Amino acid sequence: MENLEKQLICPICLELFSKPVVILPCQHNLCRKCANDVFQASNPYLPTRSGSVTSGGRFRCPSCRHEVVLDRHGVYGLQRNLLVENIIDMFKQESSSSKPAPERKEEMPMCDVHEEEKINIFCVSHGVPTCSMCKVFGAHKDCEVAPITSIYQTKKTELSDGIAMMVGNNDRIQGIISQLEEACRVIEENGRRQKTLVCEKFDQLYSVLEVKKREMSQKVTAEQEEKVNYIRSLTRKYSDHLEESCKVVEMGIQMMEESEMVLFLQSTKPLLKKIADASSTAHLDKVERGYEKMDHYKVDFRKERKALRNIDFIQDDEDEEEEDAEAGNEEKEEAQTVSAGAVVSAPQQT
């Protein structure tokens, strides 16, 4: 019977279920009055009529925390558990027939001062239960007292209301916790997305710098190759001229060994002409002074370096579009300036 009684205790008022008993969608039972108290505590702003909720709402089961959604009838729309009501009736009948009254009287607490007196009244002034003898002759003779049954019902109602209020507060706190957890999830997701966007923007900036570096390096390389090829071709021409001069010198040395005067004089004229031609380098190009320099490809990135150090987040999308447009114009102007400064003409070959 004790186990059965535990199963018939309302989790709100902690007493046997009082009719009518309603069954929640989660299969737990409540007194309809207790269910109504919990519902009103969880939905304090819903309109009521004659103490009964007349519109839908929601609250959590005090046993399993399952959320119960009600229609416009409120708790009066919940199904009654007639089986539990019948069991309660049978339990009360069985309890009244199996438990004699004297045993219940023996269970009542006795006064500590007057050991033979039962505690049957409540001292309102001190807020403690006491006996009639204490009121007449004892420490509570000048105090205000009330029947213990009325105080019991009052305190029980206060406790039930407090539990219902706490259940409602717990539901609201649980809702706040859920909102905070969702806010954390959204913040983390937004943070990851924005970091990805920032990295993409920097990657685009790296790409622009790589393209510009490659273009400017190609311009320097092109002029470098042009000048080197020209110097090498000029070196070959001077080498050919030197080789021809050496041959003329050798011919002159051989002619100096000729002892026959007639033959010597006959060969001297064309040889002297060759010597004169070999001695002249007028037909060969001369390298201009400073031709080997490449310092006209100068760069000054102080403004750009300062701009990079000042990179920061913008306030809105319009500012970003304006800055992108200005950056594009600056890149075009810089490209035109570099192209104009890189024009170098090589000396003409003769």
pLDDT reported for residue 49: 46
pLDDT in tens, 18-75: 877 777 888 888 888 888 777 777 766 555 544 444 456 777 787 788 888 877 777 7
- Residue 204: pLDDT band (50, 70, 90) is very high
Query: Domain locations in the chain?
Result: 1-47+54-96, 110-143
Residue-level pLDDT at 326: 65
- Amino acid at position 275, single letter: I
Digit-coded pLDDT (tens) for 67-120: 888 777 777 778 888 888 888 888 888 777 665 544 444 467 777 777 767 777
Report the candidate in 62, 37, 71, 38 with the shortest Cα–Cα distance to residue 51. 37
CATH architecture of the domain covering 1-47+54-96: 2-Layer Sandwich (3.30)
Q: Do 55 and 47 form a contact (C-beta atoms < 8 A)?
A: yes
Using the predicted structure, report yes or no on whether residue 270 has a pLDDT greater than 60: yes
Distance CA 12, CA 161 (A): 9
76-85, 140-149, 249-258: range with highest mean pLDDT = 249-258
Q: What is the pLDDT of residue 176?
A: 93
219-245: pLDDT as tens digits: 999 999 999 999 999 999 889 888 988
Asked which of 79-83, 103-107, 196-200, 255-259 is least confident by mean pLDDT, the reply is 103-107
Bridge-based pairing state of the strands 67-70 and 119-123: unpaired
**How would you label 273-296 residue by residue, b for 16+ Cβ within 10 Å and e otherwise?**
ebeeebeeeeeebeeeeeeeeeee
- The CATH code of the domain at 110-143 is 3.30.160.60
Which of 8-22, 104-118, 153-167 has the highest mean predicted lDDT (pLDDT)? 153-167
Q: State yes or no: pLDDT of 255 exceeds 80.
A: yes
